[in-house]
Amino acid sequence: MPQKIKLTECPRDAMQGIHDFIPTEIKAAYINLLLQVGFDTIDFGSFVSAKAIPQMQDTAEVLKKLNLSTTKSKLLAIIANYRGAEEAAQHEEITYLGYPFSISETFQLRNANTTILQSFDAVQRINELSSSKNKQLLVYLSMGFGNPYGDEWNIDIIQYWTEKLVNEGIKIIALSDTVGVASAEQVSDIYPKLTKSFPSTEFGLHLHATPNNWHTKIEAAYKSGCTRFDSALKGYGGCPMATDELTGNIATENLIGYLQSQNELLELNFDKLREALEYSSTVFL
């Protein structure tokens, strides 16, 4: 029986690099619309340093304004260290804690001011905390398709760190194309190798792309058996710690269109999706 497609909508990723502060009420109104669409998960905010990511300083306030009574969507919050995990874990409404673990030493230092080994130690501690607080730790394997910093990158490095994460009990890993360098060929090569090597682990893809190259990446991912996709309406966002010029997320409407062309039955409220698309122009001025 084919696995159900799981879509994660990422308003947090879309908003975090916006320079002008988006009012809390507008963030909450937007996410409340997204909660009515029927996505599997909403990556809604992050518990990180306000100095590093000022746009996300109101995540706890946004959470208080969310209507979760009728949605089937689960909430995911990004954390960058143990302190952030402690803060996020206090909120019963959050299902997933998302931790970016980079296989690029340069990016790990740039993103969280820690080495890869220090970051792996944090994963171990955060996973223990997550288990004790009834949360699930989702690890993003960032710079999963290469990096612009000259750090060594190859499939053996990916396999090595994936095995270590799996051995620590991490059940969900999202291979992340942090700066949009992935090719369709890489996706077709790497994703099946990971799923074959670690069959008990759920692998997703968090791809970044330009408007001109999203299709080949998504097609490669789908044909490689991927059933867990991250995206953001209209392709907004990207990682502000990665490059000066952001490469956007995969546009959700494009992803949905592709999946429908493959006869995937998506249990989504398309009226609410259109409403959220229209409201996005209020969020992203």
Model confidence at 180, in pLDDT bands (50, 70, 90)?
A: confident
Per-residue model confidence (pLDDT) at position 251: 95
Query: Which among 237, 208, 232, 240 has a CA at the least distance from the CA of 51?
Result: 240
Mean pLDDT (whole number) for 52-79: 97
Model confidence at 268, in pLDDT bands (50, 70, 90)?
A: very high
CATH code for position 31: 3.20.20.70
**With 90 as the cut, is the pLDDT of residue 247 above it?**
no
Cα distance between residue 79 and residue 137, in whole Å = 10
Per-residue model confidence (pLDDT) at position 212: 83
4 vs 1, 227, 229, CA distance in Å?
9, 7, 11
Q: Say if 13 falls within a structural domain.
A: yes
Cα distance between residue 219 and residue 212, in whole Å = 13
Burial (CB count <10 Å: 0-12, 13-18, 19+), residue 104: buried
Which residues in 144-153 are b (16+ Cβ under 10 Å) and which e? bbbbeeebeb
Q: Say if 69 falls within a structural domain.
A: yes
231 vs 14, 160, 169, 217, 253, CA distance in Å?
9, 27, 26, 12, 9
Cα distance between residue 191 and residue 269, in whole Å = 30
**With 80 as the cut, is the pLDDT of residue 238 above it?**
no
**With 50 as the cut, is the pLDDT of residue 145 above it?**
yes
**With 90 as the cut, is the pLDDT of residue 1 above it?**
no
Model confidence at 114, in pLDDT bands (50, 70, 90)?
A: very high
Q: Say if 246 falls within a structural domain.
A: yes
**With 90 as the cut, is the pLDDT of residue 111 above it?**
no
- Lowest mean pLDDT across 183-192, 246-255, 270-279: 246-255
Per-residue model confidence (pLDDT) at position 245: 47
Q: Say if 116 falls within a structural domain.
A: yes
Q: Say if 11 falls within a structural domain.
A: yes
Determine contact, residues 127/137, Cβ cutoff 8 Å. yes
Q: Say if 1 falls within a structural domain.
A: no
184 vs 12, 57, 213, 229, 236, CA distance in Å?
26, 36, 9, 15, 21
**With 60 as the cut, is the pLDDT of residue 106 above it?**
yes
- Please give the tally of structural domains in the chain: 1
Mean pLDDT (whole number) for 20-47: 98
Q: Is 137 helix (H, G, I), strand (E, B) or coil?
A: strand
Which residues in 35-66 are b (16+ Cβ under 10 Å) and which e? bbbbbbbbbbbbbbbeebbebbbbbeebbeeb
State the number of CA atoms in the 13 A half-sphere of 14 facing the CB: 27
Tokens standing for 23? 């009012």
Determine contact, residues 29/249, Cβ cutoff 8 Å. no
Using a pLDDT cut of 70, give the percent of the chain over it: 96
**With 70 as the cut, is the pLDDT of residue 240 above it?**
no
116-132 helix and 105-112 helix, angle to the nearest 10 degrees: 60
Per-residue model confidence (pLDDT) at position 54: 96
Per-residue model confidence (pLDDT) at position 239: 52
Cα distance between residue 251 and residue 237, in whole Å = 10
Q: Say if 251 falls within a structural domain.
A: yes
Cα angle, residue 165 at apex, residues 163 and 166 outer, rounded to 5°? 65
Per-residue model confidence (pLDDT) at position 160: 97
**With 50 as the cut, is the pLDDT of residue 93 above it?**
yes
Token look-up 């320079």 returns 19
Mean pLDDT (whole number) for 230-257: 78
pLDDT tens by residue, 153-176: 999 999 999 999 999 999 999 999
Mean pLDDT taken over the chain: 94
Overall pTM surpassing 0.85 (yes/no): yes
Mean pLDDT (whole number) for 119-127: 98
Domain that holds residue 269: 6-283
